[in-house]
Structure 1
Amino acid sequence: MIELLSYGAFFLTVALTYAIICLGLNVQWGQTGLFNVGVAGFVAMGAYTSALLTTPEDPVRFGGFDLPIAVGWLGAALMAGLLSVLVGLLTIRLRADYLAIATFGVAVVMQLCALNLEPLTGGPFGIGFIPRPFGWMAEDRLTFGLLNLGLVVLTTLGVYLALERLLRSPWGRVLRAIREDEQAALALGKNAFAFRLQAFAVGGAIMGLAGAVQAHFIGFIAPENYVPMLTFQVWAMLIVGGSGNNKGAVLGAVLVWAVWAATAALISAVVPPELQARAAALQIVMIGLAICIMLLVRPRGILGEVRTVSRHVHEASGKK
């Protein structure tokens, strides 16, 4: 029973870190229509920034400032947001397909930097000894897992509530107006470039925060953690849950991670060890199949975006 509860806490903790990434992508794509396929790069920026700020001093690697975890998480969000601004200034005017190519390039560059800047990032060996919240409770696996889960739940809830308030504000309505009809928004005097850049920066900062949360939960990061597969997973989560809906982003993250974890357990239990590397491709197939089914059955996802033309129209029709 204890083992089951420990695994449940671990599963939900990982799923919710992906939910935070999905919330960031939802700001960019679901609300603004920015096609970012470089998610892994912004997550990596957050993870490495927080790791460098909070790990103990290391004589063979720059960094190791041994700062509190909260400072690391804040620094991760700021650095990922700054990276988003720099990338956005260069690419935000591009059409959706060109923006996708540019952001994918950013993710590849970030991974190559993590791999080759060994004095800073540890290179292929990564960065270890990243402080874990409640690390002093690590020997009691259940208590440690539940405490970490509680912290991640609070972080996810905080991001969710902040975004809900932000996206229901005039700023959020402008983002959706630009997504739906940019020319109409421009005619009303809205600076589409500035609003898109702001949305791109907010989404990137949230992804960086999620990268930091993951890094401190696992305690170790390496370049191989931030391959394009991470981007595919996050997009699958958002599509399945419902683009444009923050609740859908969270739900999609939990469901897709459940499919990923279940197929991994099935492969480990059924497939011989020498064939498991090849059979791991079945995970991608299962996720792809889930996306296809979802697009056929519910094109807008499980919890699609709730679109309101005008609250006055809803009041007149008797709807709330």
Structure 2
Amino acid sequence: MSLELLAYCAFFLTVALTYAVIVLGLNVQWGQTGLFNVGVAGFVAVGAYVSALLTSPAVEGRVGGFDLPIIVGWLGAFVASGLLSALIGWMTIRLRADYLAISTFGIAVTVQLAVLNLEGITGGPFGISLIPRPFGDLVGRSLAFSLANLALLVAVVFGLYLMLQHLAKSPWGRALRAIREDEVAAEALGKSPRRFRIEAFALGGAIMGVGGAAQAHFIGFIAPENYLPMLTFQVWAMLIVGGSGNNRGAILGALLVWALWAASSVVVEALAPAGEQARAASLQTVIIGVALCAILLFRPQGLLPEPGGARRRLPFLHRWRGTPAATTGSDRT
């Protein structure tokens, strides 16, 4: 295997693992708690921009640029996204799944428009560049740089996996699943559905923020077009393919869907005429959509189902197929 190919494989896995962090956050919200959040891109954007502003060098005419260490930026992303998620959860968590989805989608669009128009803070359409990259002194050596970043992301994902596995098996995690499956019974046992849902929504959003920060620092540049609804679609596809409610499934789904996305990009570039490649790029979305439909129809529990979990479907799927969906805690007004 040539060094160039090895460097590309390390780059590919690193990007996939940044998505795995985001998918793990969504799994806390939907997989463990049944909260239908379709505003993923907004929480990822908050984490990315907060970390970029804290760690990038000062730029004339723009607020921020504190040139702090990367770890401070990642912690800031975790706190900022977590606080925003807690606030949004406090306001919207009692909504039914459909209305919660609409609310979170609106919030994501609002965040995207805010970063697009607050040019004095976010750089507007020009984004933020010069974001420090982990192991930046190795940039000139592509293989060493890619392997070092891959090792960092492996450590982050593994640490998150262990933490979330511990939480899932703890009384807190069992309470989340109890509320997801039967809110009335859980409440009768003295559990507060509202409090547990807000906590889960905040934790999931905070993890998404860390994923956004990791992507920003690995790439070194962010702009509003990085956080369009397509990002939310990708993350949901990863969770559904891998297996909702299973942290290993979330990681596997991120790797597989990103591999399919990258492979379809290569195919489109090879087959489409040079002048039509930009238009043909939409075929990537079609390919992911077809794969997602196949999973929903033939294996709705995902490739790695939730251990001992109920077979749950997304809110829109059970109505289309005419079958009852498992009760989720967010199905009350």
TM over 0.5: yes
- Cross-structure match for 1:295: 296
- Cross-structure match for 1:195: 196
SS in 1 for 2:208: helix
- The answer for unaligned runs of 5 or more in structure 1 is 310-320
TM superposition score normalised by structure 2: 0.92
In 1, distance between residues paired with 2:61 and 2:266? Answer: 38
In 2, distance between residues paired with 1:15 and 1:82? Answer: 26
The residue type paired with residue 57 of structure 2 is: P
In 2, distance between residues paired with 1:106 and 1:82? Answer: 14
In 2, distance between residues paired with 1:299 and 1:126? Answer: 38
The residue type paired with residue 237 of structure 1 is: M
In 1, distance between residues paired with 2:278 and 2:66? Answer: 38
CA deviation digits over 1:25-53, x for unaligned, max 9? 00000000000000000000000000000
Q: How many Å apart are 1:296 and its aligned residue?
A: 2.8
In 2, distance between residues paired with 1:195 and 1:293? Answer: 33
- Cross-structure match for 2:213: 212
In 2, distance between residues paired with 1:22 and 1:239? Answer: 10
Query: CA 1:308/1:254 → structure 2, altered by over 3 Å: closer, same or farther?
Result: closer
- The answer for unaligned runs of 5 or more in structure 2 is 311-333
- Cross-structure match for 1:91: 92
Q: How many Å apart are 1:297 and its aligned residue?
A: 2.7
Q: How many Å apart are 1:295 and its aligned residue?
A: 2.2
TM superposition score normalised by structure 1: 0.95
1:69-148 correspondence to structure 2 within 5 Å: 69-148=70-149
In 1, distance between residues paired with 2:260 and 2:180? Answer: 31
Q: How many Å apart are 1:308 and its aligned residue?
A: 6.5
Q: How many Å apart are 1:293 and its aligned residue?
A: 1.6
In 2, distance between residues paired with 1:78 and 1:167? Answer: 21
In 1, distance between residues paired with 2:264 and 2:61? Answer: 39
SS in 2 for 1:61: coil
SS in 1 for 2:221: coil
274-283 or 205-214, larger mean C-alpha shift: 274-283
In 2, distance between residues paired with 1:277 and 1:143? Answer: 32
Q: How many Å apart are 1:146 and its aligned residue?
A: 0.2
Matched pairs, number: 309
The residue type paired with residue 215 of structure 1 is: A
- Cross-structure match for 2:172: 171
CA deviation digits over 1:96-134, x for unaligned, max 9? 000000000110000001000000000000000000000
- Cross-structure match for 1:243: 244
The residue type paired with residue 220 of structure 2 is: G
1:256-295 correspondence to structure 2 within 5 Å: 256-295=257-296
Q: How many Å apart are 1:251 and its aligned residue?
A: 0.1
The residue type paired with residue 28 of structure 1 is: Q
CA deviation digits over 1:3-31, x for unaligned, max 9? 10010001000000000100000000000
In 2, distance between residues paired with 1:294 and 1:110? Answer: 31
- The alignment status of 1:25 with 2:46, answered yes or no, reads no
Query: CA 1:187/1:126 → structure 2, altered by over 3 Å: closer, same or farther?
Result: same
- Cross-structure match for 2:69: 68
The residue type paired with residue 196 of structure 2 is: F
Give 4+ residue runs of structure 1 displaced > 2 Å after superposition. Answer: none
Q: Taking every aligned residue pair, what percent have the same amino acid on both sides?
A: 68
The residue type paired with residue 58 of structure 1 is: V
266-275 or 252-261, larger mean C-alpha shift: 266-275
SS in 1 for 2:233: helix
The residue type paired with residue 51 of structure 1 is: A
The alignment's C-alpha RMSD in Å is 0.9
Q: How many Å apart are 1:258 and its aligned residue?
A: 0.4
